[in-house]
Structure 1
Amino acid sequence: MTWALPTIAALLLAYAAISGRIAGTPITAPILFTVGGLILGGNAFGLIDVHAGAEVVKLLAEVTLGLVLFSDASRVNLPTLRTEIALPARLLGIGLPLTIAAGFGAALGVLGDLAWPEAVLLAVILAPTDAALGQAVVTLPILPSRVRQGLNVESGLNDGICVPLFLVVLAIAQAEAGAIGGGAAARLVTEQIGYGILAGLVAGAIAAAILITGARRHYIDSLWAQIIPVTAAALAYTAAVPLGGSGFIAAFVGGLTFGALRHRAPDHHEGDGAEHAAEGESEEEADMLDETGDVFSAVTFIVFGAVLLGPALGHLSWAMLGYAIISLTVVRMLPVALSLIGTHPRAPTVAFVGWFGPRGLATIVFVILILEEPGELPHEELLVTTAIITIALSVLAHGLTAAPLADRYATWFGRHPRTEDHPAPGAPAPGTPG
């Protein structure tokens, strides 16, 4: 591992040097980081030669997803989203269960060797979406607000929703394979969910109370106000694990709690412009959390290319590739279309929303967690390799199509507008769920 860290640092510096130049182009950061990791990984130049089961890989994955879960959850502002909640509510409440069901059916049909719990597990692993893979879709201001917000909120919440599902289905699959007993599996899942929720509630409430009280009394320096969400995410995660809870559930619940209390806090400013000042402070508080999460996400995609994708390509089969294509198209797009029945959507909108369900960070972390304890699933290699190939295909396909299809959809929408699709007065800025 001598050259792994300097190589990763060099890749980050190289991207920083051209980041402004390639912004808005089909060449996205996840594409560059994944390809860079693949080229410099153990299957090629060997500079990033780390084993998938290494503790450092697991730690990176856990820290990254914990930060992202807390950040996404803390940004959800339901009062602000009330005018645009219909689309994400349908995508999460109807589309997500249908996507898992469709993924399960496709896995049984295409990957016949999988046992039914493994097929469900693969479907759950590939259910969360990652807006970062197609950033233009949630940041382009000329896109209709409800579409931007819908996709962004869906991406921000579905990974947190899928974490407990993943834990439950993984325990069932392990019990079915005889790796653990049924009673032990049920107890494990109950503890992970229960203690995770408890730790998240406490950590989020403590952090929000400190921030609100300190800001009202002018006790907190602005820099340390930005550090509070980062430490709150760390507190939620690290408090849950010793208790036997899931750190991911704790981070997600902690973010929801922190955000809800922060948004409900009475404004401590006085005079004109108080609302804007409060919004500005809230955005500043999230800056360090977002930027920290972005850096860890970048490193995760480098490690994905170097440690996971390289070996997976050596085991690629037509069945795996076929399932990956089906997962990114039919398994995603059909449930989205069904979930939007009754809202009178137009075909281009249904196709656009259906296509942009990229698979990324959460799926990578789920794969790493499975690899942490190898051999507990009878068809682990088939399941894991299929998930990795699907992620890689999504990074490439959604990255390359995000900017051009967003421009094309925006042009079409500009020629065929609907008043209900335009940004509502007081809607949040493009690319933020709250």
Structure 2
Amino acid sequence: MHFDLVVLGILCAFIAYSLVTRAVDRSLLTLPIIFMCLGFALSEPLRTAAPPEVLDEGKRLLAEVTLVLVLFSDASHVQFSQLRQSWRLPARMLLIGLPLSIGLGTLVTFLVSPEGGVAMALLTAAVLTPTDAALGQSVVTSANVPEKLSETINVESGLNDGLVLPFVLLGAILASAGMANAATDGLALKAVLQIVLGPLAGIFTGWVVARLMDVAQARRLIAASAEGVVFLAAAFAAYVLATVIGGNGFIAAFVAGMIFGNSYRHNIRFVREFMEGAGLILTMSAFLVFGALLLPDGLAHASMKTVLIAVLFLTVVRVGAIWLSLLGSGLKTREKLFLGWFGPRGLASILFTLVIIDEFEFANEAELLACVSMTVALSIIVHGLSSTPLARWIGRVSGR
């Protein structure tokens, strides 16, 4: 009964938030702030009410389901035709800024905490590199922000979580292999197969489903209510196919979304509609689980080192890498700083951490959890509270 009451309280919170979403949008509060704090408040009741194995299985399932849908959805909205017209800034940030962020982050983490080794430093940097536009949604949607800046933020956040996956996988494999008595036979081959076969499964699934949906649309065989089912099935089909053939399912879901979004000839609005509706429950749940299960453990293992790493990732690492990637782009200093600052860490970092910790074993797991928890918690607060004021500021200085 106690567990039922906790679940009932969570469902009531979902209803209450949904009823006042417009009011929340006009305030400084954000969905991540609200549900992280709610999760933290419910941490003790939740741990008391449910067995540890139930919570572990539940958070792993939630992480995998949410990550597959987020990767597929984000990638499906990146249109190659639009990128041809305004590809330079996102390309600089993704092709130059992202590797720089991982490289600089690896260096910073190793210098601050050398006992973890280079592999753990790489894994930490990779997990903390992807950004989450949901934490600064008012920036992306604000009429005050120049279109080239909001579009750049949107494209970068949509693609960087998928592009960083191979680095996350590599860091996890190397960190796991570095443990005593670790079985490393065939590890390199397994890693290569995951990175190669994952995209192949994604390309096949995305293209086939897009073609089938085009035929169904042209012949008026599909009802509008069934389009969301196709989206769900396609995302998980890519994931499952990749795991069957030995590829990485998350990379497959990301590639499938990109191929589907650029091969499907009709309106793709149903993907956005699903993620803004039913998918919103997954997002709320993910931040609630972060506040309830990850943040308390992260705080328990936090130290001056982990706090310093978190602050450096949100400032020097992110802003420095983006600044360097945008040199010669013609952007003003304030615009480079604006793009550098709005690289909030959120859903992708949380989900990567949940999956990696469950799938691999490495010696400095507690420190990784603390670094991610501190970085995401600080990002949720500072980026969430600064998004609306800074959107107005950049609009004002840009004459909008």
Tell whether the structures are fold-level matches, with TM greater than 0.5.
yes
2:373 maps to 388
2:352 maps to 366
Alpha-carbon deviation of 1:306?
0.2
Alignment equivalent of 1:230, drawn from 229, 232, 249: 232
Alpha-carbon deviation of 1:44?
8.5
Alpha-carbon deviation of 1:236?
1.1
Runs of at least 4 residues off by over 4 Å: 1-4, 43-53
RMSD: 2.0
| Distance change in 2, residues 1:96/1:175 (3 Å) | same
2:293 maps to 307
Alignment equivalent of 1:407, drawn from 389, 392, 396: 392
Alpha-carbon deviation of 1:240?
2.1
Alpha-carbon deviation of 1:46?
4.9
Counting helix residues as a fraction of each chain, which structure ranks higher? 2
Residue 175 of structure 2 is aligned to residue 190 of structure 1: no
Alignment of 1:1-400 (within 5 A): 2-42=4-44, 46=48, 54-178=56-180, 180-262=182-264, 265=265, 281-284=267-270, 286-373=272-359, 376-400=361-385
Whether the 8 Å contact between 2:302 and 2:367 is mirrored in structure 1 is no
| Distance change in 2, residues 1:76/1:31 (3 Å) | same
Q: What residue ranges of structure 1 are gaps of 5+ in the alignment?
A: 266-277, 416-434
In 2, Cα distance between the equivalents of 1:316 and 1:332? 21
Q: What residue ranges of structure 2 are gaps of 5+ in the alignment?
A: none
In 2, Cα distance between the equivalents of 1:381 and 1:97? 25
Identity of aligned residues (%): 37
Q: TM-score, normalised by structure 1?
A: 0.87
Aligned residues: 398
| Distance change in 2, residues 1:47/1:182 (3 Å) | closer
In 2, Cα distance between the equivalents of 1:25 and 1:200? 39
The aligned amino acid for 1:356 is F
* SS of corresponding position for 2:221: coil
Alpha-carbon deviation of 1:284?
3.6
Q: TM-score, normalised by structure 2?
A: 0.94
The aligned amino acid for 1:254 is A
In 1, Cα distance between the equivalents of 2:81 and 2:246? 34
* SS of corresponding position for 2:399: helix
Whether the 8 Å contact between 1:49 and 1:307 is mirrored in structure 2 is no
Whether the 8 Å contact between 1:128 and 1:155 is mirrored in structure 2 is yes
